[in-house]
Amino acid sequence: MSRFACVHHIEVGVVNGQATVDMLTSKYGFKVTAIRNNSVAKQWVLTGNDVRFLVTELLTSDQKLIEADDIAVDWMPCLSGHVTQRKDSVFNISFQVDNLDLLSLEHVQVVKPVKTLAGGQVRLLTARGCLGDVHHTIVEKTDFSGHFLPGFTGLPDTTPDTTPDTTPDTTEDLAEFGWSHFDHVALSVPIGGSRSVMKFYEKFLGFQRFLVNRDESPEDGLVLSHHLRLRAMRYQRGAEAGALQRGAETDGPVLEPTDQFCLVLSEAPSLDVAGTNKVEQWMTSHPGPGIQHLALSTSDIKRAVRQARRCGVQFGQPPPSAYYTQAGKLADILEVNESVQDLQELDILIDKDQGKRYLLQIFTSPVLPTDPFFLEFIQRHGALGFGSGNITALYRSMRHMENMEVTLSADQMVPVVTQTQ
Kindly state the smallest distance separating residue 384's Cβ from Fe ion, in Å: 13
Contact range with Fe ion by CB under 5 A, out of 42-50, 146-154, 224-232, 403-411: 403-411
CB of 411 to Fe ion, least distance (A): 4
- Considering only 11, 165, 338, 411, the residue that binds Fe ion (CB under 5 A) is 411
> Could you write out the DSSP letters of every residue in 349-398?
EEEE-STT-EEEEEEBPP-BTTB--EEEEEEEEB--S-STHHHHHHHHHH
Return the number of the residue (44 or 377) whose C-beta is nearest Fe ion. 377
Cβ closer to Fe ion: 186 or 197? 186
Residue 182 beta carbon to Fe ion: minimum distance, rounded to whole angstroms:
11
In whole angstroms, the minimum distance from the beta carbon of 262 to Fe ion comes to 9
Residue 9: closest CA among 86, 74, 91? 91
| Beta strand ranges found along 252-318 (DSSP E) | 260-267, 290-298
Query: Residue 218: CB partners within 8 Å, gap ≥ 6?
Result: 211
Minimum distance from CB of 291 to Fe ion (Å)?
11
List strand residue ranges (DSSP E) for 68-207, in order.
Answer: 89-97, 109-117, 122-128, 135-141, 153-154, 179-188
How many C-beta atoms surround the C-beta of residue 93 within 10 A?
24
Count the site residues for Fe ion by CB under 5 A.
5
**Exactly one of 108, 222, 224, 295 binds Fe ion (CB under 5 A); which one?**
295
Buried b (16+ CB within 10 A) or exposed e, 273-284: beeebbbbbbbe
Q: Is 384 in the site for Fe ion (CB under 5 A)?
A: no
Closest residue to Fe ion: CB criterion: 411
Q: Between 182 and 386, name the residue whose CB sits nearer to Fe ion.
A: 386
Task: Tell me whether residue 78 or residue 186 sits nearer to Fe ion (CB atom).
Answer: 186
| Interface with Fe ion, residue 376, by CB under 5 A | yes
Q: Is 169 in the site for Fe ion (CB under 5 A)?
A: no
The amino acid at residue 395 is Y
> To the nearest whole angstrom, how small is the minimum distance from the Cβ of residue 376 to Fe ion?
5
Separation between Cα atoms, residue 169 and residue 103, nearest integer Å = 32
Q: Kindly give, in sequence order, each residue whose CB lies less than 8 Å from that of residue 310, ignoring residues fewer than 6 positions away.
A: none
Q: Which is nearer to Fe ion, 11 or 183 (CB)?
A: 183
- Contact residues: Fe ion, CB under 5 A: 186, 295, 376, 386, 411
